[in-house]
Amino acid sequence: MPRLITPTATVVVAGGDGTIAWVVRQLVDTKHPLGIISMGTFNNFARSLHLPTTVDAAIRVVRQGKPHPITLGRVNGTVFLEAAAIGLFGATIAAGDAAKDRAFGAFATAARKMLTAKRFRYELTGDLTGGGSAMSLVFANTKSIGSQMPLSDKTPEDPYLELSIHAGASRTDIVKRVLARAVLAKEGEAGLGQMFRFRKIQVTTKPRARIYADNFRLGLTPASITAELSALKIILPR
């Protein structure tokens, strides 16, 4: 995609979180200003950047706003905009998105991963050190993910990511909270609990656990998670 765009071009993307994430991943190492016109169901990334969610207002920001660098996350080299997760929370977010989209085949696959997710032991090194037992670890870059499931007060303008190790004490707790938002449109809690800021950490687990970037699966732990200031700049309100 970058080869099709002149070096000084401003790029504008219109769509939801999935479309925006795809474009950002294509342009992440370029210096193009990127304008966002939110046209999705939930618009987590745009809302976290305080971008308008109406088309006319978004176009005004693209025309009159100023490009700003933002923080993007990487997990094992893959860029994520909203959050990365290890364990049950990631599988449940994927299932919630599939349920929202009525993608029943994808929902069945994600549901199987939910049912087979197990509590794991984890060890953290890097900016945060320690260990314990959890069903999920969540690494947030935005205020919400998926069907506006609250994560934290984090915005991509902050130069760090936030880790939660309190994303539900049990399988039932996590699944109930996420699917209630996706399927029933119920209000969630204020967030995931206590958050820990970091720029770079490494995670190992026993047994190995599934890793997710936004709403898709990457592979199994170990994981290296970093907060990176993107060369790509997002056009934000002045």
Residue 181 token pair: 């938002």
- Residue 179 CA to residue 12 CA, distance in Å, equals 32
Give the Cα separation of 87 and 231 in Å (integer).
Answer: 30
Helix (H, G, I), strand (E, B) or coil at 46: helix
Q: What is the CATH number of domain 78-229?
A: 2.60.200.40
Residues 32-88: tens digit of each pLDDT: 999 999 998 889 999 999 999 899 999 999 999 999 999 999 999 999 999 999 988
> In the prediction, which pLDDT does 187 show?
45
Query: pLDDT tens across 176-225, in order?
Result: 655 555 444 444 444 555 789 999 999 999 999 999 999 888 999 999 99
Residue ranges of the domains in the chain? 2-71+231-236, 78-229
> Beta strand 11-15 with 33-38: parallel, antiparallel or unpaired?
parallel
CATH class of 2-71+231-236: alpha beta
What is the spatial distance between Cα 35 and Cα 178, in angstroms, rounded to a whole number? 30
Please, what is the angle between helix 88-100 and helix 171-183, to 10°? Answer: 20
pLDDT computed for residue 23 by the predictor: 95
**3 state SS of 59:** helix
